[in-house]
Amino acid sequence: MTVATRFNSGRTGSGDAYVSDRSGSPHAQFMRLTSYALIPLGALSAWWILGLAGKTLEGVRAEIGRPIPALALLAFGAVGMVHARQGMDEIIEDYVHDEALKTRALVANLWASRVIAALWVVAILLIAAPK
């Protein structure tokens, strides 16, 4: 015995407007792309940061002062923060129902992510800067 519903799954019937196409939304594509970028950037960043254990401050500055580790750490911070901001925007849009509060939360999220990314960049540059 089957129960009749108004929603039909798949690409035909009354539910076809709710079924995503194969490529997904631009937001989902962006989140997937940044996820793929964060895998090697996260691994490289963790490898370099763990390799700094036990080094003196001058050794840390010399290591992070090289171009490849500095660029990898900067890219990890920037891409990670953009990814985190987009994810938090999605959560805010899904779960905050008051429009005024939603707008304030989205603006606060934007500025918080910018401040955190700027602090990350400044910290890396201060560590890497020659004395």
Q: Please, are residues 122 and 74 in contact by the beta-carbon 8 Å criterion? A: no
The C-alpha atoms of residue 31 and residue 39 are separated, in whole angstroms, by 13
Task: Identify residue 51 by its one-letter amino acid code.
Answer: G
> Is residue 18's pLDDT more than 80?
no
CA 126 vs. chain centroid, Å, equals: 23
Q: Which domains does the chain have, with CATH numbers?
A: 27-128 (1.20.1300)
Q: What is the pLDDT of residue 92?
A: 94
Q: Tell me the average pLDDT across 47-59.
A: 92
Q: Please, are residues 121 and 67 in contact by the beta-carbon 8 Å criterion? A: no
SS3 23: coil
Cα separations (Å) of 59 from 3, 26, 67, 112? 70, 43, 15, 32
The C-alpha atoms of residue 128 and residue 36 are separated, in whole angstroms, by 27
CA atoms within 13 A on the CB side of 84: 14
pLDDT in tens, 67-93: 999 999 999 999 999 999 999 999 999
pLDDT in tens, 90-116: 999 999 999 999 999 999 999 999 999
